[in-house]
Structure 1
Amino acid sequence: MSGVQGSDPAATTGNAEQSAEQATEESVTLQELLDEEESLQADAAAVLGGSDEKNCSYPHGYVDRQALYACSTCTPPGKDPAGICLACSYACHEGHDLYELYTKRNFRCDCGNDRFGDFKCSLFPAKSAGNRDNLYNHNFSGKYCRCARPYPDPERTEPEEMVQCVVCEDWFHLNHVGLKGVAIDSIDELICDECMKAHPFLWKYKLNIGSLSSSVSLGSAVDVETESIAKRPRIEICDPADKSSVEKDEAHCIFSRLPEPESVPETGAVWPTSWRRILCRCEGCTSLYETEKLSFLPSPDDTMRAYEKRGEKKREGAPDPLMNALNGLGHVQKIEMIDGYNNLKNCLGDFLRERAEANAVVTTEDVHNFFKGMKEMQSKKAAAVPGFFCR
C-alpha cells in the first residue's frame, strides 16, 4: 500500500513464436512495465523508507510511525491480533502469509510475545508478554474500510483505491465515507465520517479554514466553502514554532474565536496540505487534544509526508553498495569494473529505450540475444556491436 492503495500489476512476456494476437493478450508494452515499476518503487519507498529493515523496532518502544504487518500464519483471524515491524517481517516471518498494514503510529512490535504462543522473535527474543498501549483494528485480520473487505478484493473486477484515515488509521473507499466523486489525487489527508462524528470540534476548523490567515501555507488541495467563508472576518494566527506566540495564543484561543457552524455534514473530511498548522496550541486546546486522544494532531512529524521525507533522507545518506565493493579493489581493477558497469548500463538503456519507443514487448529471446551480444562484445573487446547494442 501507499498513501493511496492501487491495484497490483500483472504482466506476461511472449516469445518469438507467439502470434501478434497472443502477444497483445498476454503481454504488456515495455513502457507500461517501466511506468508500473517506477510507481511500485515510489510506493515501496514511501512505506518502507522510514523504517529499519534489519533491526527489530521493539527496543525503541512505541515508535511514532513505522511500517507494520500482521502475520495470518502465526496469528490467524480469531486469535488476538498482533503487529510486526518491517525487520521481523523479513527475518522471522519469511514465507508466511502477511497482511500489509501500511504504517501506524505509536506501536511496539509484537513479534514473539504472548500473542504468538511458542513462536519467538529471532531478532529480539527478550520481549515482554504484551504491549498494552498498542491499538488494533480489523486491518490486523486483513479487513479494511466500513465494508470490511480484504485488499486486494478478489471479488472486485476494477482497480480499487483507498485512503487512510488520519485518526483511526483504517483504510476507506471514498464512497463509503460519504465522499463519492472526490478526486483521490486531490486528497492530502482524510478523516473518516465516524472519526469526525467522534470529534465534532474538528468541523469548526474544517468549515473555517478559509478564515485563517494566509501566513500559514495550506498548499493547493484546499477544499473550503468559499461563499460562506468570504463574508467572515480573517483571523490572524501566530507561528506555532515561536514559543512566545504560543503563550500569546493562551490569552486569546484561536479555536474559541472561530464561528460555530450552523450544521455539519455527515461525511468524512478532506484536509489540505499542512492543515495541522492551523490548530490552536493554547493550554486549553492542548488539554482538549489529550482528552480526545488526539495529541498527535498538532505535530507536523506525525504526517505521512514527514515520514516519507525521513525515509528519503535516510536513503540519501545510505552508502552506495557498488562503491563499497570498488573500494576493496586495486586501481586497475577499479577502472575496469567501472568501465564495464557503465558500458552495461548504457547498452541496456539503449536496448530498453528502443523497445519502449517502438511500443514493443520484450521477449525471452530478446533478453537472451542481448546478453549473448554483450558476451561477444566482451570477448572481442570491441567498442561497439551491431543491432541494439552500444554504438
Structure 2
Amino acid sequence: MSENVENDRDESKSYNLFDLLNAEKELEEESAAVLGGSDDKCCTYNTGYIKRQALYSCLTCCPEAKDDLTKAAGVCLACSYKCHENHELVELYTKRNFRCDCPTMKIPEFKCSFFNVNESSSSSSVEHSKKEINVANEYNQNFSGIYCTCKRPYPDSEDPISDEMIQCIICEDWYHTRHLKSEIIPKTNEYSEMICEHCVQEKEFLKDYIGLAVNKVTKFENGHDITENVAIDGEKSDEKKNEPSKSENHDKTVSNAEATKELEDENYESPCKKRKVEGHEIDTCKKPFDTMAKYKEGAIFWPEEWRKQLCCCASCRKIYSEKKVEFLLDPEDTIAVYEEKGLKKYHDTYYDWAAKSLSTLGHAQKIDLIMGYNHLKDKLKEFFDEFSKEKKVVTESDVKDFFKKLNTEKLQGLSKDQQYFCR
C-alpha cells in the first residue's frame, strides 16, 4: 500500500462497529419505509384496489409496454420476488388505488405463482385461468421505464447532470428538479409534497391556494422583511411585514374574507356561494381566493399538512370529484403516512422477534444476556477507540485477536465450580 493511500486513510473519518450497525439499521428502515408495509409473502390481487402499495412494471412479460401503455402491467411486491425474479423490472415506488396485474389477462402467457394453475396445462389453458383485467388501474409513462417531461429512463447513463427527482402527488410521475420550471427548489426538509405544472394547470382550483406554497424566497430590504412569491404572475408581490399598518402596502394585506369579497365584487364566478336555509348560513366555502399571489408557471411545493386547509364544502368536493382528486382529502393518502406504516411494521416485527426470543429464556439467563451484551459493547468501544486515537486501520487479524482475548478473559472469569460448555 502506498504512503499516499495510508495518509488518505489516516485523515479520513473513523468508524466503529456501532456506527456501522447504525448505518445498517438506517438502510433497513429506509427500505421498510419505501415498501410501506407492503405484503412480500402473498399476491395482493385478492385485496382489491389498494390505497397505496409498492409496485413494479415487468418489461420482460410486457415488452410492448415500451411503446404502448395499453400493454403495460403492474405487479405487487410479492409477485416481483416470486413470479418475476430475474425479469426486467421497473421500480415504480408507489401507485395509489392499484390492483396487481400478475394473475390477470394483462400478462396472458405468464402464470402467477400465487394462484393454482395445472402445471401440465397448455398456454391456452393458462390464459383461460387468468383473472379479468383490472379496469380501474391507471398507467403512466413510468410503466414503460421513462420519467419526467424529458421522457428519459432513471438512472440515465447518458445524462451528465446529477439531478434529484421528485414525485408529483397527483400524476405520480417523477421529475428532474431542473425541469420543474420553478425558480426556487426548496430543500427536502422545507416541503412535504410537490404538484407539477401540468397538474396545477389541469386542476385549476389549486391556484387559489398558491398562498400556502413554500417555494418563496425571503429578502431583507431597508431593514424590512420582504417575502417574494416566485410563482406569481408578472411582477413579484411584496408584503412588508414589519411596516406600520398604514403603509402604502396596507391595501394589499387583506384577509381571506376580504379577498373573497373583492373577487365577488369583480363578478368573479365563485363555485362556492354562501347559502342560507331558514336563516342559518350553511356550506360556507373556506377557499382562500388569494388575490395577492397569482400563479404563473412551474411546480408548486406544499408544506406539511397543507391538505388540511383545503375547503371541504359541498361545492368544492364536487370539484375534487370532477377532477378525480378526492384523495387529497384522505388523510391516509400521503407518502408520509405510507412510510410510517412501513416503519411501524419493521419495528413491530423486530421487537416481536426480540420479545419472543427473550420469553424463552429464564430469569437468570436474561440477566446473563443483558450483562454479556453490555460487557461486549464496552469492550468493543475500548477496542475501536484505541485504533481511532492512533489513526490505525483495523485488520482481520486485529479482530481475531480481540475475540480470542475476550474469550480468554471469559474463561478466566469463570469460577472453578462452574462448567463452561463450548457449542
Name the TM tier (shorter chain): 0.7 to 0.9
Are residues 1:91 and 2:86 paired?
Answer: no
The answer (yes or no) to whether the contact 1:223–1:271 under 8 Å persists in 2 is: no
Paired AA for residue 58 in structure 2: C
Deviations 1:36-93 (A, max 9, x none): 6465344323212432232322222111111222233333453722222222233333
Identify the match of residue 102 of structure 2 among 111, 115, 120: 111
**TM-aligned CA deviation for residue 143 of structure 1:** 1.9
SS, match of residue 94 in structure 2 = strand
| 1:114 shift after superposition | 2.4
2:62 corresponds to = 75
Instruction: For residue 163 of structure 1, report the CA deviation from its aligned partner.
Output: 1.1
Alignment partners' CA distance in 2, 1:88 and 1:19: 49
- Partners of 1:22 and 1:135 lie apart in 2 by 53
Conserved 8 A contact 1:28-1:361: no
Q: Would the aligned equivalents of 1:179 and 1:268 in 2 still touch at CA under 8 Å?
A: yes
> Matched residues in 2 for 1:330 and 1:301: separation?
42
Bigger CA drift: 42-51 or 360-369? 360-369
Looking at structure 2, the residues matched to 196 and 293 of structure 1 have their Cα atoms a distance apart, in angstroms, of 13
Of 42, 45, 54, which aligns to 1:58? 45
TM-score, with structure 2 as normaliser = 0.67
Residue 193 of structure 2 is aligned to residue 189 of structure 1 = yes
Unaligned 5+ runs, structure 1: 1-17, 211-221, 237-246, 384-391
> In the alignment, which of 357, 364, 388 is matched to residue 325 of structure 1?
357
- Equivalent in the alignment of 2:308: 277
Matches of 1:265 and 1:303, distance apart in 2: 26
Residue 180 of structure 1: CA displacement? 4.8
More strand by share: 2
Aligned AA (2:52):
R
CA contact (8 A) 1:58 1:124 kept: no
CA contact (8 A) 2:79 2:112 kept: yes
Partner AA of 2:42 in structure 1 = N
Alignment of 1:251 with 2:254, yes or no, is no
The question of whether the paired residues in 1 share the 8 Å contact of 2:183 and 2:230 is answered with no
- Partners of 1:230 and 1:132 lie apart in 2 by 49
After the TM superposition, which residues 201-240 of structure 1 pair with which residues of structure 2 at under 5 Å, given as runs? 201-207=205-211, 227=239, 231-235=253-257
The alpha carbon displacement at 1:135 in A equals 1.4
User: CA deviation digits over 1:250-270, x for unaligned, max 9?
Assistant: 532123x62457842211101
Instruction: Give deviations 1:206-225, integer Å, cap 9, x for gaps.
Output: 13679xxxxxxxxxxx9996
Alpha-carbon offset, residue 335 of structure 1: 5.2
Pairs aligned (count): 343
| C-alpha distance in structure 1 between counterparts of 2:380 and 2:144, whole Å | 43
Answer yes or no: is the 8 Å Cα contact 1:29–1:356 preserved in 2: no
Identify the residue that residue 114 of structure 2 maps to in structure 1.
123
Flag the 1:85–1:205 CA change in 2: closer, same or farther, 3 A. Answer: same
**How far off is 1:352 after superposition?**
5.1
Give CA deviations for 1:283-302 in whole Å, capped at 9, x if unaligned: 11111101101010122211
Contact conserved, 2:32 with 2:346, CA < 8 A, in 1?
A: no
Aligned residue number for residue 308 of structure 1: 339
Aligned AA for 1:138? Q
Q: Match of 2:143, SS?
A: helix
Cα 1:62–1:249 shift into 2, 3 Å: farther
Q: Does 1:164 align with 2:167?
A: yes
- When residues 307 and 352 of structure 1 are mapped into structure 2, their CA distance, relative to the original with a 3 A threshold, is farther
Change (3 A) 1:102 1:208: closer
- Are the structure 2 counterparts of residues 382 and 159 from structure 1 closer, same or farther at C-alpha, using a change threshold of 3 Å? farther
Match of 2:299 among 262, 268, 274: 268
Residue 148 of structure 1, CA deviation: 2.2
Partners in 2 of 1:353 and 1:112 — Cα distance? Answer: 55
Cα deviation for residue 31 of structure 1 reads 4.2
Question: 3-state SS of the aligned residue for 1:300?
Answer: coil
Residue 287 in structure 1 maps to residue 309 in structure 2: no
- Cα offset, 1:196, TM superposition: 1.0
Aligned to 2:4: 21
- Corresponding residue for residue 30 of structure 2: 43
Instruction: Report deviation, 1:347.
Output: 4.1
Contact 2:59 2:90 in 1 (8 A): yes
* Distance 1:272-1:377 versus aligned 2 partners, 3 A rule: same
Tell me the distance in 2 between the aligned counterparts of 1:338 and 1:293: 55
- Superposed CA deviations along residues 167-204 of structure 1, whole A, max 9, x for unmatched, are 01111111101125423322311001111111122011
Highest CA radius of gyration, 1 or 2? 2
- SS of the counterpart of 1:21? helix
Show the counterpart of 1:241: none
Tell me what 2:330 maps to.
299
Aligned equivalents of 1:150 and 1:360: distance in 2? 43
Q: Paired residue for 1:137? A: 140
Higher RCO (Cα < 8 Å, 6 or more apart): 1
